[in-house]
Chain A
Amino acid sequence: MWRDAVLMAGKDLRIEARSRVAINQVAPFAVVVLVLFGFALEPDRGVLAQAAPGLFWVAVLFAGLLAVQRSFAVESADAARDGLRLSALDPAGIFLGKAAAVALELMGLEALLTAGVVVLYGTDLRGAALLLATAATATVGLAACGTVYGVLVAGLRVRETLLPLLLLPVVAPVLLGATRACEAALGQSLDDGWRWVTLLGVFAVLYVTLGILAFGSLLEEA
C-alpha cells in the first residue's frame, strides 16, 4: 500500500511539475482571492488584519477545490481511470498517494498565501508551533476529504458544480477549527488553540480512514 502511495504521489506531483497548472493557475488564483478580499473589506480599518486567519483559510479552501478537481481531471484523459483500475495498485495506496500529492500542493500554496497575508494584510506571525500544527492537520483533512469527494464525482457529467456543493459543507469544521486555532496562535483570541488542532486531527483521521475503506469501490464506479 505504501509503495503504491509513493508511486501515485510521485506521478501526480511530476505531472504538476511538468504541466505547471498548479503554479501558473491555482496559486495565482489564490492570490487574486486574497486581493479581492482586500477590495471587499476596508483595508484601512484593521478589519483585514483581524479577519486574516479566516480569509486565509477560505482562500485555501477555494484553491483546494481546484487542486482536487485537477487531480482527477488528469485521470480523465486517455481513459487513465481505466488504467488505474487495471493497474493492480492497491486502491488504498492510490487514495493515499493522490491525497498526499494534493496535500503537498496545498502546503506549498499555504506558504505562498502566508507570505501574501503578511504582505497584504499586515499580519504579524506568532505562535509558530501552533500555526504549523494547524496547517498540517487541516491540510491533511482537506486533502483526504477532497480526494474522497473528488473520486466520488469523477465519473459524473455534473462534477464541476456538484463537487463544491458536496465538499464545502463537509469541510466547514476544518474552516472553523483552522481559523480559530490560527486566531489563538496570533493572539487575537483567548481560545485554546490546541483543542481546535485536536478537532482538526480527528477530522483528518476520520477522512483518511473512510478514504482508505471507500476509495476502492468508488473508483470502480467512477
Chain B
Amino acid sequence: MSGTANRTTRALGLAALSATAVTVYLGLVVTPPDQVQGQLVRLIYIHPASATFSFVACGVTFAASLLYLWPRTRSRRWDHLAASSAEIAAVFAALSLATGSIWGRPTWGVWWTWDARLTLTALLFALLLGYLALRRIGGPAETRSKLSAVAGVLLFAVVPVDHFATEWWRTLHQGDTLFRPKPLIHGSQLATMLLSFLAFALIYGYLLVHRYRLEQLEERLETEGLELALAERRAEGAAESGGVVGAGASQQVAP
C-alpha cells in the first residue's frame, strides 16, 4: 500500500464532490430566501449538517476507544479509527461554531450567545482539542494508544452530563431561545438541507478513509522507518562495493 486512494475512495470522493456541488447550487441559486431571515437561511445548508456529523464523529471516536480498550477486540485499527474520527470531529465542530456565529451576528446581534447547544458544542470542541493534544505526545505507539483510548472514553463519557448542565443552565433564566426561529421550511429548502446531510456524510466518509490510511502509514513509518532506511543504506553499500555503477561515486567519497 503506497497511497491512500483506490478506486472505491475515488468514487466516494466524486460522490461527495457532486453532492456538495448540487447542494451549493440548490442552496445558493435555486432555493428562495426566507421570509423572516432572508439570505441568512442559506446557512442552514451547512450548519446543521456539520454540527450533526461532528457529534457523529465524536460517537465513532468514543466507540472505537471502547473497542480498543476491550481486550477481545483490541486492535490497532480501532486506535487509528478513533484518531482519524476525532480530527474530523474537531474540524466539523469548528465549522459549525463559525457558521453559527456568522448566523448569530445578524440574527441575534451578537457573535456569541450562551445558548445551551452552542455551549455544548464549544465544550465538545475544547474536549476534542485536549484529546488531539494527548495524541501528539510522542513516545511508544502502544502507550500512546492506550492513554488516548482511555482519555477518549473519559472525555466523551462526560458529554451527557454536559448536555444536562448546559440545558438546565440556559433554560432557567432564558431569553435566547425566543429568538431562535424555527420557520416553517419551504419544500425545496428542506430537500436541500437533507441533501446537505448526505453531502456531509460522504465528506465524512471520504476524509475518514483517507485519514485512517494516513494514520496506518504514519505508524508504519514510525515502526519500520528506521529498519527500512538501514536496509536501503546497506543496499547502497552493497551496490557500491559491487563496483559496477557505484565505482565513480565511491572514489569521490573515499579519501
Interface residues of A (CB under 8 A from B): 148-149, 152-153, 155-158, 162, 165-166, 168-170, 172-173, 176-177, 180, 189, 191, 195-196, 199, 202-203, 206-207, 210, 214, 217-218, 221
Q: Does B230 reach chain A (CB closer than 8 Å)?
A: no
Contact, CB under 8 Å: B133 / A170: no
Chain B: minimal CB distance from A195 (Å): 7
A210 touches which of B130, B131, B153 (Cβ 8 Å) = B153
Contact residues in A for B139 (Cβ distance below 8 Å): 156
Q: Does B253 reach chain A (CB closer than 8 Å)?
A: no
A170 touching B155 in the complex, CB below 8 Å, given contacts A203-B161, A221-B143: yes
Contact residues in B for A172 (Cβ distance below 8 Å): 123, 126, 162, 165
Contact residues in B for A162 (Cβ distance below 8 Å): 130, 133-134, 137
A221 touches which of B146, B154, B161 (Cβ 8 Å) = B146
Q: Does B129 reach chain A (CB closer than 8 Å)?
A: yes
Contact, CB under 8 Å: A176 / B150: no
Counting chain B residues whose Cβ lies within 8 A of the other chain, the interface size class is 20 to 34
Contact residues in B for A199 (Cβ distance below 8 Å): 161, 164-165, 168
Contact, CB under 8 Å: B133 / A165: yes
Most chain B CB inside 10 Å of its own CB: which residue of A170, A177, A189, A217: A170
Dominant secondary structure of chain A at its interface with chain B = helix
Contact, CB under 8 Å: B150 / A152: yes
Contact residues in B for A170 (Cβ distance below 8 Å): 127, 130, 154-155, 158
A69 to B126, CA, bound (A): 21
Contact, CB under 8 Å: A206 / B161: yes
Identify which of residues 143-159 in chain B touch chain A, using a CB-to-CB cut-off of 8 Å: 143, 146-147, 150-151, 153-155, 157-158
Chain B: minimal CB distance from A55 (Å): 17
Chain B: minimal CB distance from A215 (Å): 10
Total number of A-B contacts with CB less than 8 angstroms? 81
A169 to B123, CA, bound (A): 6
Interface residues of B (CB under 8 A from A): 69, 123, 126-127, 129-131, 133-134, 137, 139, 143, 146-147, 150-151, 153-155, 157-158, 161-162, 164-166, 168-169, 172-173
A157 to B144, CA, bound (A): 13
Chain A: minimal CB distance from B158 (Å): 5
Contact residues in B for A221 (Cβ distance below 8 Å): 143, 146-147
A182 to B129, CA, bound (A): 30
Contact, CB under 8 Å: A214 / B154: yes
Contact, CB under 8 Å: A152 / B173: no
Nearest A residue to B136, CB-CB: A158
Chain A: minimal CB distance from B119 (Å): 9
Chain A: minimal CB distance from B228 (Å): 27
A195 touching B173 in the complex, CB below 8 Å, given contacts A203-B161, A221-B143: no
User: Told that A162-B137, A176-B165, A199-B165 touch, could you supply 16 new A-B pairs with CB distance under 8 A?
Assistant: A152-B150, A162-B134, A166-B155, A169-B123, A169-B127, A170-B130, A170-B155, A173-B158, A173-B161, A189-B172, A202-B161, A203-B161, A206-B161, A217-B69, A217-B150, A221-B146
